[in-house]
Amino acid sequence: MWLPTAEKLGLKWVPLFENGPMVDVNDLAVVMNEFRRLREALAINPKNVSILERIDFILEELGDVPLGEVSEIFIG
């Protein structure tokens, strides 16, 4: 459900997470914004509760990345 929605929204990064890419920390703000857009689009359907919880977890974890200490992160 999340992948077709991500593609419909024209998201660049989120569809790549199906395969677990490395992400430069300089792209982290864009990645987080895409997850927020995906979450907003999926929130209209109450059946997406587990996906929304996962997105919330991902956003929380990405928000805790020590940007000054790492150059890339693996998301998968």
pLDDT of residue 21: 86
Alpha-carbon distance of 12 to 31, in angstroms, equals: 9
Q: Which residue has the tokens 């020590």?
A: 66
Q: Residue 73 — very low, low, confident or very high, per pLDDT cuts 50/70/90?
A: confident
In a domain, 54, yes or no: yes
In a domain? residue 19? no
Token output for 6: 């991500």
Question: b/e map of 1-31 (b: 16 or more CB within 10 Å)?
Answer: ebeebbeeeebebbbbbeeeeebebeebeeb
Q: What is the pLDDT of residues 26-48, one digit of tens each?
A: 999 999 999 999 999 999 999 99
Q: How many domains does the chain have?
A: 1
Q: How many residues does the chain have?
A: 76
Within-domain flag for 51: yes
59 in a domain, yes or no? yes
pLDDT of residue 41: 98
Which residues, listed in sequence order, are joined to residue 22 by a DSSP beta bridge?
A: 74
Domain limits for position 42: 24-65
Which pTM value belongs to this model? Answer: 0.89
